[in-house]
């Protein structure tokens, strides 16, 4: 064999070796399975070329997102198709508390994904992209969040229960609504863990605790949903003094009918607006005769329309002007509640 041929073979061998060293091992299916076996890793691999009007970097980013999507999709498919999501045995009985969380779980963002820098093979024009996540690290991450989210949700529910007991139902409803996404995260994480870890137990996944919390939240939410939430805005003047006589009496009457009151109009089912001012009509036999001129309107937030509006004057008689004005305002309150209470029954 001539020296020229030997030199050519040598240079080819060196070139191939250098090229092989530059090309990541994960670009080969056999190497991926060896280094990232399916029993320990979830992975996503894509390859493709630069498309028309696309730079190499843009193509790399596109293919990397595709690889990440394949990884996440493989886990989501396991979640949505795993029958254990619908029936999970607890002490011999079967519970179906996870059916409604399948959609939430299928949209779950997968944590802890590692992505290798995409590799562009200049000799073939092919771009390779690869992402992976360690199965045991993934299990540890989601198990670690179960207790934290459950504890936070339980705290919100306890606060809601205290607020409901004290009659502050609108605030209680807000606490319940804040607990719902936390419970959804717990249930989605449990769905994922059930799908990817065959060694799970109901106790290890905190399933009994979650079911108890779910039932408490559902019952409280149902009770609070039946309440009518009212925002009262009352601007009242008894001559030169600013008062809340009508507003306070209307709240007391509607509260006895099961209504709750909100601090902001955004939380309310109905908005009650009251304007009232007193004036002296005259003095007879040492008694002051005053009138309270009152305007009232009722707005249905759910229907987004005004359902009632009226103006009237209410008389009050007392020995002093201020006392007569106060009496007129006090007597105006039941007139208003009679006019608007039919919408709260």
What percent of the chain is modeled with pLDDT above 70?
A: 84
Please check whether residues 128 and 217 belong to one and the same domain.
yes
Please check whether residues 124 and 47 belong to one and the same domain.
yes
**Final residue belonging to a domain, choices 209, 226, 243:** 226
pLDDT of residue 96 exceeding 80, the answer is no
Q: Ramachandran region of residue 181, left (φ > 0), alpha (ψ -120 to 50) or beta?
A: alpha
- For the chain, the average pLDDT equals 83
CATH code, domain with 290: 3.30.160.150
pLDDT 10s digits, 14-62? 444 444 447 899 999 999 999 999 889 999 999 999 999 999 999 999 9
DSSP state of 121: E
pLDDT 10s digits, 272-316? 999 999 999 999 999 999 999 999 999 988 788 999 999 999 999
- Give, in order, the Cα–Cα distances in Å from 114 to each of 126, 131, 134, 169, 219: 21, 6, 9, 46, 42
pLDDT 10s digits, 179-225? 888 888 888 888 888 878 878 888 888 999 999 998 888 888 888 77
Comparing CA positions, the residue from 264, 191, 187 lying closest to residue 229 is 264
Higher pLDDT, 104 or 141: 141
Please check whether residues 202 and 65 belong to one and the same domain.
yes
Tell me how far apart the alpha carbons of residues 189 and 148 are, in angstroms, rounded to a whole number: 12
20 falls within a domain: no
- The kind and range of the H/E element at 326 are helix 321-340
77 falls within a domain: yes
Tell me how far apart the alpha carbons of residues 302 and 158 are, in angstroms, rounded to a whole number: 28
Please check whether residues 208 and 74 belong to one and the same domain.
yes
Maximum average pLDDT range among 102-116, 195-209, 216-230, 319-333: 319-333
Comparing CA positions, the residue from 312, 280, 292 lying closest to residue 243 is 292
Tell me how far apart the alpha carbons of residues 65 and 129 are, in angstroms, rounded to a whole number: 9
Task: Kindly report the pTM of this predicted structure.
Answer: 0.55
Please check whether residues 194 and 234 belong to one and the same domain.
no
125 falls within a domain: yes
Q: Which domain holds residue 252?
A: 228-344
**Final residue belonging to a domain, choices 181, 203, 226:** 226
Assigned token pair, 265: 């109009």
Tell me how far apart the alpha carbons of residues 190 and 86 are, in angstroms, rounded to a whole number: 12
Please check whether residues 129 and 250 belong to one and the same domain.
no
Tell me how far apart the alpha carbons of residues 145 and 141 are, in angstroms, rounded to a whole number: 7
What percent of the chain is modeled with pLDDT above 90?
A: 48
Please check whether residues 211 and 232 belong to one and the same domain.
no
- In this prediction, residue 105 carries a pLDDT of 45
Buried b (16+ CB within 10 A) or exposed e, 173-194: bbbbeebeebbbbbbbbbbbbb
Tell me how far apart the alpha carbons of residues 156 and 175 are, in angstroms, rounded to a whole number: 5
Please check whether residues 100 and 189 belong to one and the same domain.
yes
Count of domains observed in the chain: 2
Give the 3-state secondary structure percentages of the chain, helix then strand then coil, rounded to 5: 55, 25, 20
Three state DSSP letters for 225-258: HCCEEEEEEEEEEECCEEECHHHHHHHHHHHHCC
Q: What angle do CA 75, 136, 152 make, to 5 degrees?
A: 80
Please check whether residues 241 and 95 belong to one and the same domain.
no
- In this prediction, residue 222 carries a pLDDT of 80
- In this prediction, residue 4 carries a pLDDT of 54
19 falls within a domain: no
Tell me how far apart the alpha carbons of residues 334 and 314 are, in angstroms, rounded to a whole number: 11
**Final residue belonging to a domain, choices 201, 226, 251:** 226
Query: What value does the mean pLDDT take over residues 236-259?
Result: 92
Please check whether residues 42 and 126 belong to one and the same domain.
yes
21 falls within a domain: no
Comparing CA positions, the residue from 29, 32, 67, 40 lying closest to residue 196 is 40
Please check whether residues 124 and 101 belong to one and the same domain.
yes
Tell me how far apart the alpha carbons of residues 326 and 317 are, in angstroms, rounded to a whole number: 9
Residue in the structure block whose two tokens are 């009918």? 257
Please check whether residues 85 and 208 belong to one and the same domain.
yes
143 falls within a domain: yes
Q: Ramachandran region of residue 125, left (φ > 0), alpha (ψ -120 to 50) or beta?
A: left
Tell me how far apart the alpha carbons of residues 229 and 172 are, in angstroms, rounded to a whole number: 12
- In this prediction, residue 35 carries a pLDDT of 94
180 falls within a domain: yes
- Give, in order, the Cα–Cα distances in Å from 229 to each of 222, 309, 337, 344: 14, 19, 15, 9
24 falls within a domain: no
């Amino acid at each position: 064999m001539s020296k020229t041929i030997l030199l050519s073979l040598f240079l080819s061998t060196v070139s191939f070796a250098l090229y092989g060293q530059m090309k990541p091992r994960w670009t080969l299916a056999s190497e991926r399975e060896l280094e990232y076996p399916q029993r320990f890793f979830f992975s996503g691999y894509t390859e493709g070329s630069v498309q028309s009007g696309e730079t190499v970097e843009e193509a790399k980013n596109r293919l990397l997102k595709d690889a990440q999507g394949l990884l996440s999709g493989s886990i989501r498919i396991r979640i949505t198709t795993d029958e254990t999501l619908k029936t999970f045995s607890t002490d011999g009985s079967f519970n179906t508390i996870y059916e409604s969380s399948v959609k939430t779980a299928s949209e779950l963002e997968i944590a802890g994904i590692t992505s290798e820098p995409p590799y562009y093979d200049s000799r073939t024009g092919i771009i390779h992209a690869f992402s992976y996540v360690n199965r045991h690290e993934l299990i540890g991450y989601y198990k670690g969040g179960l207790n934290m989210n459950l504890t936070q949700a339980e705290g919100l529910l306890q606060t809601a229960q205290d607020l409901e007991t004290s009659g502050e139902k609108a605030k209680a409803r807000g606490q319940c609504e804040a607990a719902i996404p936390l419970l959804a995260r717990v249930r989605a994480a449990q769905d994922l863990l059930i799908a990817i870890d065959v060694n799970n137990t109901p106790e290890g996944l905190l399933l009994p605790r979650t079911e108890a919390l779910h039932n408490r939240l559902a019952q409280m939410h149902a009770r609070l949903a039946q309440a009518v939430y009212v925002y009262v805005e009352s601007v009242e003047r008894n001559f030169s003094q600013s008062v809340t006589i009508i507003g306070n009496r209307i709240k007391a009457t509607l509260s006895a009918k099961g209504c709750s009151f909100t601090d902001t109009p955004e939380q309310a089912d109905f908005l009650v607006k009251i304007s009232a001012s007193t004036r002296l009509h005259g003095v007879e036999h040492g008694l002051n005769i005053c009138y309270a001129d009152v305007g009232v309107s009722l707005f249905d937030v759910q229907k987004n329309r005004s359902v009632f509006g009226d103006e009237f004057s209410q008389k009050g008689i007392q020995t002093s002007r201020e006392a007569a004005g106060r009496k007129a305002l006090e007597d105006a309150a039941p007139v208003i509640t009679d006019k608007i209470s039919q919408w709260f029954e």
